[in-house]
Structure 1
Amino acid sequence: MEEENSNYNQILEKLESKASIKQEIYRNTVEVFALAKKVLSKTASRLHQDYSVKDPSVEVFYRETNQFEAELKFSGDMLMLSMHSNIFNFEPGHSIFQTSYVKADPTLSYCGVIYLHNFLADSIKYNRLADEGMLVARILVNKEKRFIVEGEGALGFLYEVFGDDVINEETLTDILERAILLCLNNDLQLPPYAQVKDVTLHQKQSIMAASGYPTGKRLGYQFKSETQQNNQ
């Protein structure tokens, strides 16, 4: 009986040290995500107002697709903002555990995650499920709303010190604007002609049934046979 009580008390302690904290982090991440959606919506409005006068054919709009996802379309690009519903910790041995900030309270390493993905707008429009996108950045938020950003370009180092600042609208505006610039600077590139000149009728019919060539921001396009050969 004493051992059973000991186990039960440990369960209660774990709920206090982990479950409640994770719920707090989840609520924080929801708040940050809501603020990020607000910033993205405001950015879309500004871009539409300032650029539609110059070229009304360039589409710029914002929409929320579900509780955990929103997207900004600008010309041929789509920046997708999404929040994971779970809470994560870093892998053992990560440098985050060597910081004085986390050493003082190990529960500070638990984070909610917000992702920024770049896809081609046509990938979404035509439901081209084989198309590849790019993870531009991810924002990690802890129980104190302290954060770090892991990402491409300047987003890989500007916000890499955990515990320095509480995330706010100004910071999110900078992160999202830099993400948009990364999308715009990442152009489609045609693969060498020799790599795509051979195609079976089945592949061609499958491609057209899927509304076009499988396409990604980094890859240009590839036939399935070429992809298989590259993976062998």
Structure 2
Amino acid sequence: MAKDPIEKNRAQLVDLLMHKSALKQDIADDSEKVFERLKTIIISEINELKKSITDPRIRLSYQDKGKFEIHAYVGSDVLVYNLHQNVFRLPDHNPLWGTAYFKQNQNNGYFSTIHIFNFLAESLLQNRMDDAGYLIGRLFLNHENHFLIEGKGTLGFMFRDPQNMVLSDEALQLIVQLSFAHALEFDLYIPPFEYLSEISVAQIQMMGESLKLQTAKRLGFKMKHEEESENY
């Protein structure tokens, strides 16, 4: 006699809940612990830098924004580290699925994500809502504490072997130092003259209050007018 389809469907649901949902929850729980370690390391690194930097004009501070976010102010920059509250699976077309580590256990392809954003410090401190920030890295962590990073500069090529990379406090410290360095090495460029050639009364009034003209660190992007001029 064929099995009752209702019971069969329920059994499949139970299996999904016991395995996939539990796996995702385990990853989420572990990533929260890792993020707490990351926050401790960020604070420690800032305190170590303070020992060598005596110039009071050089900003070195942090703001703990709760369970899932911390801001690190380094010079004229701020790094925003943010733990995403969801767990994601690698896309099917990702070449990592062709490696032995992911072939042997598909659970290895589920990751939590920590984003690293770079803003100008004044953008946050002065609440300049129109200012742009940039994603400079994102750390992926799976249920075996293996990790990889997609990112800019050294962050983008140093941590690309999740099969052999297990996240340690030393690795976290290196990630923090590299993200600090990346932000500091990329400067605010002078906006093209055309960018400021037209300005409204409202904008000039706001400039008098807190210089709220849109500002961004240029990390390999082009201003809209530059793209337009190249098309002629």
Q: TM-score, normalised by structure 2?
A: 0.90
Equivalent residue for 1:121? 121
Equivalent residue for 1:35? 37
1:128-159 alpha-carbon deviations (Å, 9 max, x no partner):
11111111111100000000011001111111
1:176-216 alpha-carbon deviations (Å, 9 max, x no partner):
10111100011000122133222232443456566421111
Query: Structure 1 stretch 132-141 or stretch 58-67: which is displaced more?
Result: 58-67
Equivalent residue for 1:68? 68
C-alpha displacement of 1:79: 0.9
Where do 5+ consecutive residues of structure 2 fail to align?
Answer: none
In 1, Cα distance between equivalents of 2:190 and 2:163: 43
Q: In 2, are the aligned partners of 1:112 and 1:141 still within 8 Å (CA)?
A: yes
Where do 5+ consecutive residues of structure 1 fail to align?
Answer: none
In structure 2, the residue corresponding to 1:103 is in which secondary structure? helix
Given candidates 44, 54, 58, the residue that maps to 2:46 is 44
Q: Give the partner amino acid of 2:25.
A: Q
Q: In 2, are the aligned partners of 1:77 and 1:119 still within 8 Å (CA)?
A: yes
In 2, Cα distance between equivalents of 1:132 and 1:195: 15
In structure 2, the residue corresponding to 1:113 is in which secondary structure? strand
In 2, Cα distance between equivalents of 1:69 and 1:123: 17
Q: TM-score, normalised by structure 1?
A: 0.90
C-alpha displacement of 1:76: 1.1
In 1, Cα distance between equivalents of 2:208 and 2:151: 34
Q: In 2, are the aligned partners of 1:196 and 1:226 still within 8 Å (CA)?
A: no
In 2, Cα distance between equivalents of 1:153 and 1:226: 26
| Identical pairs, percent | 27
Q: Give the partner amino acid of 1:165.
A: M
The two structures, once aligned, show a CA RMSD in angstroms of 2.6
C-alpha displacement of 1:96: 1.6
C-alpha displacement of 1:226: 6.4
Q: In 2, are the aligned partners of 1:195 and 1:226 still within 8 Å (CA)?
A: yes
Alpha carbons of 1:206 and 1:51: their partners in 2 closer, same or farther (altered >3 Å)?
A: closer
Equivalent residue for 1:2? 4
